[in-house]
Amino acid sequence: MPASVRAALALAISLGLWPALALAEPESLEQARRLYLAARFDDAERAFLDLLADPSATRADVTQAYRHLAVIRLARGRRAAAEEAALRAASLDPTVQAPEGASGSVRALFEDVRARVPASGLAARLRAPIDPVAGAPAEVEIEVDGDPGQLASAAIISCGGAQVRIPLPRGPAGSARANAAVGMGAASGPGECTAQVTTASGAVVAEAAVAFTARPMAPVAEARHPATAMEPADGRPHESSAALRWLWVTVGATALVLGTYVVNDFVIYGSNRSGDVAVTPE
């Protein structure tokens, strides 16, 4: 890179520093910016990439890293890589600007990416049942919008002490959606599910939460043997069971009497009715 370009780039970056953020910047971000000011752009780029690989990096850290990477990559003629970095910076901060004093091409790049990001930027929404059963898993949905740079990689969902990590598949127009079964905790009553959307390195870039009220699990009905299904718990015959037994006894006795009558009627009187045999007394 020509020395004049490097000097101009360093000046643009220095003019674009945010004093308010500089007061609270971590050492890794401050070190990367010092490398910028020293026009050591290869070292500065590596330092920003190291920052992006740090899972403890904040959303503001990630924003500033991509913002500066976009500027230096565009100056080196790497348009696609610069656009991706600027788009990710804009998704994290929809108001992000090119450094003051930057060239027209740098300003145009940031204006273009800001127009492709919704006003809310990268945001997450979490959905869960409002009255799940305590001690049972429930279906939870995480949805991410405003991520045209495809920065969100996974979501960590916590409910009632249980935690799951699920990947976020790429969706249309910078969106992503995923579902997971999460245990809602053993205790009934009010609770909360939280979600953290992370980059591939684990840095948290969005959070969401949803409240629920868990209801107690219904008791399991006690199983009975079919033979004793009508018996009460104390072992004494149920009134309806006893009445049913007496009914069957009565029916049986009646059937026996009627059967005997029919048989006797046939034996004693059947011959006289048929007219086939004459009975003569001696």
Q: What is the pLDDT of residue 38?
A: 78
Question: What is the topology classification, in CATH, of domain 123-214?
Answer: Immunoglobulin-like (2.60.40)
- Per-residue pLDDT, 40: 81
- Residue spans of the domains in the chain: they are 3-115, 123-214
Q: Is the pLDDT of residue 73 over 70?
A: yes
Give the mean model confidence (pLDDT) for residues 42-54: 92
Nearest partner of 211 among 182, 189, 186, 233, judged by Cα: 189
pLDDT of 236 reads 53
The pair of three-digit structure tokens given for residue 138, joined into one six-digit string: 């429930």
pLDDT tens digits, residue range 219-269?
765 545 444 344 444 555 444 444 444 444 344 544 443 444 433 443 333
Long-range interactions of 18-26: CB distance < 8 A, separation 24+ = 21/60, 21/64, 25/61, 25/64, 26/57, 26/61
179-199: pLDDT as tens digits: 999 988 888 899 999 999 999
Q: Helical H runs in 57-102? A: 59-75, 79-92
CB 66 within 8 A of CB 211: no
Model confidence band, residue 39 (pLDDT cutoffs 50, 70, 90): confident
pTM greater than the 0.75 cutoff = no
**pLDDT for 10 beyond 70:** no
Q: Which residue has the higher pLDDT, 19 or 56?
A: 56
